[in-house]
Structures are given as structure tokens and as C-alpha cells.
Amino acid sequence: MIALGADHGGYALKEAIKHYLDAEKTAYKDFGTFDENSVDYAPIAAQVAHFVADGGAELGILCCGTGIGMSMAANKVKGIRAAVCANAYCAEITRHHNNANILCLGGRVISEEQAVEFAKLFLNAPFDGGRHQRRVDEITKIEQGEL
């Protein structure tokens, strides 16, 4: 299960990613928005982030104008490692090295085709573990006030 969410600035990217997931027969839950009317991004980011953190979805994808606002909001939820990616390398490596669980994309930064490419890379890349696990554990320590 993949959790999806977007504000008006990322709506078109989310819809393109949904078409890709449908073609791949990958289950997803869409938390909105459901059109291009202006909405605030933080409540949508919170819904997706809590759903991922609580185990409802393995991964999430959030889209807004730049990806930055969604990332900032999602990263406030304990257990979330949301990464803004504007190129294919970062979309893949954030899973390999950071075990990111939410990909954030910007509708004013990348094309729909790029969004699908980045989603595909993100969703199919495994976490490498090893030395990277120690670093992810340090992120958790920050979250818990231990570092």
C-alpha cells in the first residue's frame, strides 16, 4: 500500500503517479486533494505521514508546488523520513541510504513524466542497511531528543 497526497500545486503529479500505480496494479490510498482548487498542504501531509508512521502504508508520496512544504510538514510526524527530490538520483538514493519512507515532489519543479520516473525509482529501491542503518538510527535519536 502506498499513501498519496497533494495540494493544488502537486495535484497533476499525484494524478500521473496514480495512473502509473494503476498500471502496475499497486494498491494506494489517496488522501487528496481531488482537484486543482487551492488547499493547505499541511493537513494532507499530516494524514499521509500518520498513515505511513502507523503502518497503514509502507511508503508515501506527497506533492505540492516545490515538495518543500509537504516535506517540512511530514517530517514533524515521529517515524517519518520525508525527502524532497528533484532528480532521479536523489529519488533512488534516499531509499538506499536514508530509508526514506515518503517521497516529496514539486509540481512547479518537475514534469509529470519525471514524477512517475522518480516514484518508480523510489518505490523499487531497497534500503541498503549496513552502515546506513546506524545513520538512520541517529535520525531517530534526534527525534527522541537523545542526540
In the set 50, 96, 97, 132, the catalytic residue is: 97
Please state, in angstroms and as integers, the Cα–Cα distance from residue 122 to each residue in 29, 62, 92, following that order.
17, 12, 5
Out of 1-5, 32-36, 141-145, least confident range:
141-145
CATH of the domain at 93: 3.40.1400.10
**What is the span of the domain harbouring residue 17?**
2-143
- Answer whether 106's CB lies under 8 Å from 10's CB: yes
Q: What is the pLDDT of residues 95-127, one digit of tens each?
A: 999 999 999 999 999 999 999 999 999 999 999
Any binding-site annotation on 106?
A: no
For the chain, the residue count is 147
- The pLDDT value recorded for residue 127 is 98
Q: What is the pLDDT of residues 10-46, one digit of tens each?
A: 999 999 999 999 999 999 999 999 999 999 999 999 9
Q: Does residue 19 have an active-site annotation?
A: no
Count of domains in the chain?
1
Mean pLDDT estimate for the chain: 97
- The pLDDT value recorded for residue 84 is 98
Amino acid at position 27, single letter: A
Any binding-site annotation on 56?
A: no
The grid cell for 44 is 494532507
Q: Does residue 85 have an active-site annotation?
A: no
Q: What is the pLDDT of residues 39-77, one digit of tens each?
A: 999 999 999 999 999 999 999 999 999 999 999 999 999
Rg value, the chain, Cα: 14
